[in-house]
A and B are shown apart, each in its own frame.
Chain A
Amino acid sequence: MNSLRLTGRRVPRTCSRAAWLLSSWLCGVTLAQNPPDLNGVWQLSSPVPALMKTADGQEPALNEHAQAIYSQHRAAYQAGDRSFDAAANGCGDPGMPRIMMMSDRFEIVQDADRVVTLFARGNRFRVVELKRSLDPVDLFYFGNPNGHWDHSELVVESSDFRESSFIDAAGMPHSDAMTLTERYRLSKGGKELIDQITVSDPKTFKTPWTVIMRYRKLPSHTELLPADQQVNCAPPTPKGSSQGGG
């Protein structure tokens, strides 16, 4: 008889398959209705090196043109010159995926329709829609993100990036053809958030590559950005302005 042994009882294989499919479907439905709770303030578990490495420890395979740009930026970076990097002083836009590799805190707020990430850096936010697809209307530092739950993982697909940001602090470039696939999942009983980021950009890289980021959850009521650390990135008040009265 074509069968499997499950919990000591012989059952027909077709029954076991049906049970597996049913349980998988029920599990999927349950997770869709009660997705993992990503709410909270998060921070990198450990610092990320300035020079980007893939999940298997290799340098992303840049094409010739991109490699020339990166070499130029990297030489400047190693000489202490950050002038190529608008994000170096905490105000310019680091964009995706770099902002996810910075040590600043971020906070996730989610409801049934969307997942919002609030970044301590520069009061930035990223809205991932879960139930509607955003049309590409422009190029953005955070791209055009659309998300969905794949069982216990939040999958975010993004495209339409502005190419003026960099992937790492040493100025690894990307183009407006970059697409990101992020898979967020919880581990360690919800105390750790893992983001597996796959970068695809045929104008910049020879092949897609993946990096895995890990974040630790900070205690409840942790402030995203303590008042004494707030950086005002708006233009400064020039002498003779109206500030302070007429």
Chain B
Amino acid sequence: MFEMRSVPIFGSALVLCALSLALVPASAADDEAAAPARLAPPSSDLKDFAGYYRPDYLKPLVKSAVGTSGPIQTVDHQMPPFTPKASAEFNYRLSKEQAGMPVMDTTPQAGLPSACLVGFLSPVLVIANRQQMFFIFESGAAPIWRIHLDRDHPKKLAPSTNGDSVGHWEGNTLVVDTRGFNTSGHLDLVGTPFSRDLHTVTRISKINGGHQLEFLITVNDPENFTQPFTTRYTAAWRPDERLMENEIDAPPPGAPPGDPP
């Protein structure tokens, strides 16, 4: 009796299971960005970005190091509109990268956030207080992206490694203006160059019900690009992540003395 009753119940369960599998959207099932279902959901506040994310992989346009999204690419998946000089520089660096001698091994200056979003694909923590929002990337020589929310750029802007970033809200999008770099460097880990005149506008929004952050970065640097262009990268909500330590053990020769106690 038990077995006779259990069969239809088991069969119903199978049907339900099959139905539920069939009803799962293919995009969600295949989406690497989707966080495991057991994880805490993101805040429903679309202006609350706080928490951990992991940059999503984007298929590189050229052969690139494994585990990276390669060089920066435009929102419509094209190479940036290089000036001839920048093109030559990029191609030289790309050849070094593909020969196993990436320039990032010797030239550390990578721009935030693009280099961290496309290059390392390692976790990022977002935390904010009343005055500032921080994107803290696990990897990178200068991994802290500080966005001032309560002031404009200083009139006398002292150039710095990561430039000066100020943000304001347009609806639920944080619009971040960054300028004032103190050196030339790379927009990615392959070697897309930027100059001290680099100016970026980054529009950051929660998408996909808050399960992803979208970064639309408009890059303007006439020395290296014939016109401004926009990139698009995303990062997935990952409350199970944490930031590991980024070791810098080897001091550079000739570095200024520190200030130990």
A and B found bound together:
yes
- Give the nearest-CB partner of A241 in chain B: B106
A-side residues, CB < 8 A to B, are: 39, 47-50, 82, 85-94, 98, 101-104, 109-111, 113-114, 116, 118, 121-125, 127, 129, 134, 137-138, 140-142, 168-169, 220-221, 226-228, 230-238, 241-243, 245-246
- Give the nearest-CB partner of B105 in chain A: A235
Nearest Cβ distance between residue B181 and chain A, in whole angstroms?
10
* Shortest Cβ-Cβ A-B pairs, 6 listed: A90-B258, A246-B92, A234-B108, A227-B160, A91-B251, A234-B141
- Give the nearest-CB partner of A129 in chain B: B242
Nearest Cβ distance between residue B179 and chain A, in whole angstroms?
13
Nearest Cβ distance between residue B238 and chain A, in whole angstroms?
13
- If over half of A's interface residues share one DSSP class (helix, strand or loop), that class is named, otherwise mixed; here it is loop
- Across chains A and B, the number of contacting residue pairs, with CB separation under 8 Å, is 166
Q: List 25 A-B contacts (CB under 8 A).
A: A82-B260, A85-B260, A89-B256, A89-B257, A91-B251, A93-B247, A114-B125, A114-B127, A116-B125, A123-B141, A124-B246, A127-B136, A127-B243, A137-B244, A169-B260, A230-B182, A231-B255, A232-B108, A232-B109, A232-B252, A235-B105, A235-B106, A242-B93, A242-B96, A246-B89
Residues of B within 8 A of A111 (CB): 50, 127-129
Q: For the complex, is B75 an interface residue (Cβ under 8 Å from A)?
A: no
Contact-residue bracket for chain B: 35 or more
Residues of B within 8 A of A233 (CB): 141, 248, 251-252, 255
Which of A89, A103, A220, A236 has the most chain B CB atoms closer than 10 A to its own CB? A89
- Give the nearest-CB partner of B108 in chain A: A234
Q: Are B248 and A168 in contact (CB under 8 A)?
A: no
Q: For the complex, is B25 an interface residue (Cβ under 8 Å from A)?
A: no
- Give the nearest-CB partner of B258 in chain A: A90
- Give the nearest-CB partner of B132 in chain A: A109
Nearest Cβ distance between residue B165 and chain A, in whole angstroms?
13
Residues of A within 8 A of B13 (CB): none
Q: Are B129 and A110 in contact (CB under 8 A)?
A: yes
Residues of A within 8 A of B248 (CB): 91-93, 122, 233-234
In the complex, chain B residues 132-150 whose Cβ is within 8 Å of any chain A Cβ: 132, 134, 136, 141-144
Q: Are B143 and A123 in contact (CB under 8 A)?
A: yes
B-side residues, CB < 8 A to A, are: 50-51, 85, 88-89, 91-93, 96, 103, 105-109, 125, 127-132, 134, 136, 141-144, 151, 158-161, 182, 191, 242-261
Given contacts A90-B258, A110-B127, A231-B256, 16 further A-B contacts (CB under 8 A): A50-B261, A87-B260, A88-B258, A89-B258, A90-B255, A90-B256, A91-B250, A91-B251, A93-B245, A98-B261, A113-B50, A125-B143, A234-B248, A241-B107, A242-B191, A245-B88
Residues of B within 8 A of A235 (CB): 105-106, 108, 250, 252
Q: Are B127 and A123 in contact (CB under 8 A)?
A: no
Q: Which of B50, B85, B242 contacts A245 (CB 8 A)?
A: B85
Residues of B within 8 A of A129 (CB): 242
Residues of B within 8 A of A237 (CB): 106-107
Nearest Cβ distance between residue B256 and chain A, in whole angstroms?
6
Bound-complex Cα distance A245 to B85 (A): 8
Given A104-B259, A231-B255, A242-B93: A92 and B249 interface contact (C-beta under 8 Å): yes
- Give the nearest-CB partner of A236 in chain B: B252
- Give the nearest-CB partner of B90 in chain A: A246
Residues of A within 8 A of B161 (CB): 227, 230, 232
Q: Are B191 and A109 in contact (CB under 8 A)?
A: no
Bound-complex Cα distance A113 to B129 (A): 12
Bound-complex Cα distance A157 to B92 (A): 49
Bound-complex Cα distance A118 to B253 (A): 25
Residues of A within 8 A of B96 (CB): 242
Q: Are B88 and A169 in contact (CB under 8 A)?
A: no
